Structure 1
Amino acid sequence: MNPITKGKITFKIWRARRATRSQIDIQQQRRLENILSFVRRQSRFYKQHYADIPDEVTNLEAFPPVTKSVLMENFDDVVTDTAVTKAEIDEFVADEATIGTRFLDRYPVWVTSGTTGEPGIFVQDETALTILNVVPDRWTLPVLLGVEQFSRIVKNGARGAEIAVTGGHFAGASGVALMRRESTFYRNRIEMFSPMQPMSDLIDKLNRYQPAFLVGYSTVLVELAQAQRDGRLDLDPVFIAPTAEPISGPEKQELVRAFDCVVREIYGATEFFPIAVECEHGNLHANTDWVVLEPVDEEYQPVEFGEPSDTVLITNLANRIQPLVRYDLGDSITMYEERCPCGSAFPIIEVEGRQGDVLRFETNDGEEIPIFPLALSSVVEEVSGVHRAQIVRTAPATLQVRVEGTSDTTERDVWAQVEQNLHSFLRNQGISGVAIKAASKAPQRDTRSGKFRHVWSELER
């Protein structure tokens, strides 16, 4: 993308910051009509999927939803560049040496398992990447322009730290690596910190690094706030962004008190990162100028304002290489009709989000430490041949693992690697004596919520 085009997109993003609801809706509808017209011309999958729908129809509810599994099964027909194939993408993401590079020198590629438990591969184009980088700034940058904030940024060298799982083509790890590779400014100013390392190691590394900006899994940030209050951690960040997991209002206030800085939640997904960003009044605002959100029930019928959905359908209005139209994201959200006191016309949403418990174990030294759900599930999901998995703590020293393998692997080989990886991970945390048991049942959704939970405990709290 040339600088002029990128500049125009950036200008439109910032101009919409003070747009009226009517202006936002008009812009959304215009982009929606463009993307619908585009996919019907350029995507073989959508052309066939919408074959019975007249060309002049632009009402989204007339178009059938799609799921991650359907899009992955039809990957080569979904994408709009015939040079992009699932076989070559699979080779690309299997090679850790390509993390932070572009497929065909054009497209960032990110992998995810997500709340549905189905693995996914998502290709980004330049417009999608620009939206990812610029949209959050229109919410967060204005609060960082004060003298005190600027001095803290300078004091910490404008360094950023992201806490997320590393070692794969995940959006966080690969996105940071790409930024370091392509940006002279960020090359030495942004670092990844894995939540899979022992908490004491993470604290030591952050104390040495001293970030001005801290982004990461909500559960990890809450634990770091406790370490800051205890005196084990000594950071002076200017901004913290909890993401990837649910975080409550009281937990965000804990972060504010512990670090004395601006805290803004970001709700996003690999499929579309900046779905919503928190304002100064503590409300999440959906960026509906670039994404359409449809809160729906289990039959994909719309739910009323103020009612929690069974899932949410998203339509990405930016990405044209791998279009997502009425895509079942799997999260439960509540959308509100009321305006926010901050004055923004972007709609307020609440998110139930991804499901996972922080598990606490005693180390060999007698110290109780947290094991974070996204870190633990990643240990299993990274095993070759694992399609999806769930980890259940059934006793103080027992983890039961439900594994669904791919068709090209044997159950015995997959389980041996899962068991080995989990024991190795726990040993690295200083934990021994935990039994890893194979469950007789396959991974499944929660019978009450319908959500796919990755990690949870059955012990009484």
Structure 2
Amino acid sequence: MDQVKLALAIRSLLPPRPEDMEARAAAREARFRKLLNYANENSPYYRKRFQGIDLNTCAITDLPTLTKAQMMENLDDILTDRAVRREGLERFMSDPSNVGSYYKDNYAVCHTSGSQGQPAIIVQDKPAILTTFAAQFARGTPVSRRFLPFLQKLFNPARFAIITQKPGFYPSSTFFNYFPERARRYIKLQRLSVFDPPEVLVEKLNSFQPNFITGYTSALETITHELHAGRLKLNGDLQQMTNISEPLPEAIAQRVEKAFGVHITNVYSMAECMALTCGCQATHGSHLNDELAFLEIVDANNRPVPKGTAGSKVLLTNLYNLAQPIIRYEIDDVVTISAEPCECGSLLPLVKAVEGRAKDQFWVDVNGEIRDLPYYVFLLALHTETDLAEHQFLQTGVNKFVLRAAPLAGRTLSAEKLRELIQRSVTAEGLADVITFDIEIVDKITPEHSGKVRRAKNVFGPPPSAPNPAHELASEP
């Protein structure tokens, strides 16, 4: 039955044709009204916020916005299943053996990464997880629009290598943790960690010989270097690479594509709406699945900006997850929607650029060897600290870092607990005797002049004799 549901969901989300547009608009409107009325009936928080609003006729701009802090402070009243509570969710996620299991047999749960400052808990029902996979199967791979050839491709064994963090309750891991059981019989997954040494990645990829590789930009750069060095040896079966979770600079995209001879798709999504976009098969933008979500590109005062113009933030409305309604949710990403149709011919809106998640480069000196230090080494440590409202990591010297942490209203943070969490993560990466860090508990993180807060900020400077990135890209074959 689940296999049939997945197949039908895939069919409903195949790339739209001109004759589909009217029906798609009607379906989007129906989802929107269902979401509003369901939230009003089942969420005490939204019932209060929606007072005086006609939910059957209102425009989306008539609705209040929701911040991450508001969501976490009111999580128990936002969740629509009254038997699901924050305390139980946190207890469930504190046990690593629950990774990949459904909470109360019905809900997939995860922490957001906190890259926007504060981690949050996200609860998705099984239909929402099914929709996420269906969207990626239908639109995230280079397939024919015809249903039967696509379905045949789905059920032919394919090898997917995923280079993210180690399995846990963070978003990109959650997506693969709940990979449909039926599909696992036909699609082989190889889970790799961005923290694996290059020689480990090479050994495993050489053995697995993937058809598809998904990973962070930094991981794709690493394996590209290993390919140039002759250590990574793929046999020509690679069909596509996909970037997630980090910005994909055009120069890096071109370098990786030239090395591997396949296209990189670039997916813009978040835990709050993992089916938000699918990577374009011709460009390095992302196509908005606009029948599954509203993405309002707005200025600092929540006023819409013209297409082709970067906004100050986005307001996200997830139309397919009823377990935890996400309605006009503020995300501090600088996003540009293309004013022109995509060159690939897709009728879906094109997310042309996402700039809000770029991070300063950290580095460490290990016995005289300069190495890049992924921000995730620190960020991973904060996933379980849900009383955290904001954070900022600073590099203040050679191997010296500072965490500034601000608690949620009415909550407190322990500097010793934060130190223990970070030390555990640093130790796991073999850097316990290399990195030193201080903890500062503050009331608020001061934003930049732009109004944004850089969560990872190098105030010390680049490493000694740091190469020019443009020169490095141009000089490598």
Q: TM-score, normalised by structure 1?
A: 0.87
**Runs (5+) with no aligned partner, structure 1:** none
Instruction: Show the counterpart of 1:229.
Output: 228
Residue by residue over 1:326-357, the C-alpha shift from the partner in whole angstroms, topping out at 9 and shown as x without a partner, is 11122121123321222211111221141323
Instruction: Show the counterpart of 1:278.
Output: 279
Output aligned runs, 1:324-343, within 5 Å: 324-343=326-345
Instruction: Show the counterpart of 2:126.
Output: 126
Alignment match of 1:356 (pick from 359, 363, 377): 359
> Offset of 1:22 from its aligned partner?
5.0
> Offset of 1:25 from its aligned partner?
3.4
1:124 counterpart SS class:
strand
Q: Out of 310-319 and 133-142, give the one that drifted further.
A: 133-142
> Offset of 1:57 from its aligned partner?
2.8
Quick check: 2:118–2:391 contact (8 Å CA) kept in 1?
no
Structure 1 CA distance, aligned partners of 2:21 and 2:249? Answer: 27
What one-letter code is carried by the residue in structure 1 that aligns with 2:215? G
> Offset of 1:258 from its aligned partner?
1.7
Structure 2 CA distance, aligned partners of 1:90 and 1:347? Answer: 37
Structure 2 CA distance, aligned partners of 1:174 and 1:56? Answer: 34
Structure 2 CA distance, aligned partners of 1:260 and 1:348? Answer: 24
Structure 2 CA distance, aligned partners of 1:412 and 1:376? Answer: 15
Quick check: 1:165–1:173 contact (8 Å CA) kept in 2?
yes
Instruction: Show the counterpart of 1:456.
Output: 457
Quick check: 1:157–1:212 contact (8 Å CA) kept in 2?
no
2:140 counterpart SS class:
helix
- Specify whether residues 106 and 49 from structure 1 end up closer, same or farther in structure 2 by C-alpha distance, changes over 3 A only: same
Instruction: Show the counterpart of 2:166.
Output: 166
Quick check: 2:100–2:178 contact (8 Å CA) kept in 1?
yes
Output aligned runs, 1:212-291, within 5 Å: 212-235=211-234, 236=236, 237-282=238-283, 283-291=285-293
Q: Out of 242-251 and 32-41, give the one that drifted further.
A: 32-41
- Specify whether residues 185 and 443 from structure 1 end up closer, same or farther in structure 2 by C-alpha distance, changes over 3 A only: farther
Instruction: Show the counterpart of 1:175.
Output: 175
Structure 2 CA distance, aligned partners of 1:318 and 1:329? Answer: 18
Instruction: Show the counterpart of 1:297.
Output: 299
Instruction: Show the counterpart of 1:321.
Output: 323
Structure 2 CA distance, aligned partners of 1:112 and 1:239? Answer: 27
Alignment match of 1:347 (pick from 335, 349, 352): 349
Quick check: 1:219–1:358 contact (8 Å CA) kept in 2?
no
Residue by residue over 1:303-334, the C-alpha shift from the partner in whole angstroms, topping out at 9 and shown as x without a partner, is 12221111111111111111111111221211
Structure 1 CA distance, aligned partners of 2:167 and 2:122? Answer: 17
- Specify whether residues 99 and 19 from structure 1 end up closer, same or farther in structure 2 by C-alpha distance, changes over 3 A only: farther
Instruction: Show the counterpart of 1:112.
Output: 112
Instruction: Show the counterpart of 2:373.
Output: 371
> Offset of 1:138 from its aligned partner?
2.6
Output aligned runs, 1:423-438, within 5 Å: 423-425=426-428, 428=430, 432-438=433-439
**Runs (5+) with no aligned partner, structure 2:** 463-477
What one-letter code is carried by the residue in structure 1 that aligns with 2:361? V
> Offset of 1:218 from its aligned partner?
1.5
Structure 2 CA distance, aligned partners of 1:217 and 1:241? Answer: 8
Instruction: Show the counterpart of 1:86.
Output: 86
Instruction: Show the counterpart of 1:201.
Output: 200
Quick check: 2:332–2:452 contact (8 Å CA) kept in 1?
yes
Q: TM-score, normalised by structure 2?
A: 0.84
Residue by residue over 1:185-240, the C-alpha shift from the partner in whole angstroms, topping out at 9 and shown as x without a partner, is 168x2132222343443343333333222111122212221222122323353221
Output aligned runs, 1:17-56, within 5 Å: 23-56=23-56
2:34 counterpart SS class:
helix
Structure 1 CA distance, aligned partners of 2:319 and 2:19? Answer: 18
Instruction: Show the counterpart of 1:390.
Output: 392
Structure 1 CA distance, aligned partners of 2:215 and 2:382? Answer: 21
1:285 counterpart SS class:
strand
> Offset of 1:433 from its aligned partner?
4.1
> Offset of 1:37 from its aligned partner?
2.3
1:334 counterpart SS class:
strand
Structure 2 CA distance, aligned partners of 1:384 and 1:46? Answer: 22
- Specify whether residues 435 and 455 from structure 1 end up closer, same or farther in structure 2 by C-alpha distance, changes over 3 A only: same
> Offset of 1:359 from its aligned partner?
2.3
What one-letter code is carried by the residue in structure 1 that aligns with 2:226? A
Residue by residue over 1:51-92, the C-alpha shift from the partner in whole angstroms, topping out at 9 and shown as x without a partner, is 121244330000001112212222222122222122211111
1:176 counterpart SS class:
helix
Q: Out of 379-388 and 367-376, give the one that drifted further.
A: 379-388
Instruction: Show the counterpart of 1:210.
Output: 209
- Specify whether residues 61 and 97 from structure 1 end up closer, same or farther in structure 2 by C-alpha distance, changes over 3 A only: same
Quick check: 1:180–1:190 contact (8 Å CA) kept in 2?
no
Q: Out of 451-460 and 394-403, give the one that drifted further.
A: 451-460
Quick check: 1:36–1:58 contact (8 Å CA) kept in 2?
no
Instruction: Show the counterpart of 1:65.
Output: 65
1:267 counterpart SS class:
coil
Structure 1 CA distance, aligned partners of 2:382 and 2:203? Answer: 26
What one-letter code is carried by the residue in structure 2 that aligns with 1:52? G
